[in-house]
Amino acid sequence: MFPDFRLRATFDKAADIYQDARPDYPDELYSDLLAITKVTPSQHLLEVGCGPGKATPPLARMGFPITAIELGPALAAEARHRLAGFPGVSVITSSFEDWEPTAGARFDLVYAATAWKWVDPKIKYAKAATLLAQNGHVAVWNADHAFPADFDPFFTEIQKVYEEIGEGDGGPWPPPLPEDTPDPVAAEIDASGHFTVVETRRYVWGSRYTADEYIALLNTFSGHIAMEPAKNEFLYREIRRLLATRPDARLTRHWSVVLTVGRRL
């Protein structure tokens, strides 16, 4: 189901903290992306939903010309500031659905990092296909919370707080292991009629957070941005309380990123 447009717009409120709070994507992902798609720095890339430029610099540093589309005006402004040192990168403030490219514009890769699910599925694949050169690719990856077998027990404790304030997701606990979690993007790409999946890769790692760092991270998530202030305040007090009992006052959050690459039919 396509997410709520109201939540799609919330990320712009986190423009000033998003870049530092969110994790960088693994270097291996970019190496795999180039190996799978075989794009070279002479080819033009289109990034959908660039945010403040989280996924843009690794490719810009390689010399790729990139047109980056960002819905949020504050996020787009942040991206322009952070990417000012790359003359080949342009940031356009627009939704992907409403953006009108210049006549005859063609790209060799359309990619989206933790943004593709916020684009209307009735439009995104058809539009991407029209913008791609023959044998061009679409690449999608998302940074999601992962729960390996040894995940931090903090999350079992804090899950009770989410349920207490009526913000549980209703899913099973603990969630499935990363390797047992299906890739919904692959099925969506294959069903689009415009692309066929050529490769998927998964990357899992853990990051350490203090209470302040973790709360800053949560403040970049749409559900927390839109949450009632009283609920957020209670939740954040509980996070601080739980971490204060630990010797190093830190938690480990695991991340899972699945890179899915489709080739234009």
Q: What tens digit of pLDDT does each residue of 107-123 get?
A: 999 999 999 999 999 99
Q: Of 109, 17, 23, which is closest to residue 67 (Cα–Cα)?
A: 109
Give the integer Cα–Cα distance in Å for 22 and 14.
11
- Classified as helix, coil or strand, 71 is coil
Radius of gyration of the chain (CA): 19
pLDDT at residue 1 greater than cutoff 60 = no
Q: What tens digit of pLDDT does each residue of 196-217 get?
A: 999 999 999 999 999 999 999 9
Q: What tens digit of pLDDT does each residue of 132-167 get?
A: 998 999 999 999 999 999 999 999 999 999 999 999
Query: Side-chain half-sphere of 5: how many Cα atoms within 13 Å?
Result: 5
Q: Of 211, 207, 216, which is closest to residue 248 (Cα–Cα)?
A: 211
Query: What string of H, E and C letters represents the secondary structure of the chain?
Result: CCCCHHHHHHHHHHCCCHHHHCCCCCHHHHHHHHHHHCCCCCCCEEEECCCCCCCCHHHHCCCCCEEEEECCHHHHHHHHHHCCCCCCEEEEECCCCCCCCCCCCCEEEEEEECCHHHCCCCCHHHHHHHHEEEEEEEEEEEEEEECCCCCCCHHHHHHHHHHHCCCCCCCCCCCCCHHHCCCHHHHHHHHCCCEEEEEEEEEEEEEEEEHHHHHHHHCCCHHHHCCCHHHHHHHHHHHHHHHHCCCCCEEEEEEEEEEEEEEEC
Tokens of 174: 């603990």
Q: What tens digit of pLDDT does each residue of 237-256 get?
A: 999 999 999 999 999 999 99
pLDDT at res. 9: 87
Q: What tens digit of pLDDT does each residue of 217-240 get?
A: 999 999 999 999 999 999 999 999
Range with the poorest average pLDDT among 53-62, 80-89, 166-175: 166-175
Which of 3.40.630.30, 2.40.30.10, 3.40.720.10, 3.40.50.150 would CATH assign to domain 5-148+177-208+254-264? 3.40.50.150
pLDDT at res. 7: 83
pLDDT at res. 3: 58
pLDDT at res. 169: 87
pLDDT at res. 259: 98
Q: What tens digit of pLDDT does each residue of 15-74 get?
A: 999 999 999 999 999 999 999 999 999 999 999 999 999 999 999 999 999 999 999 999
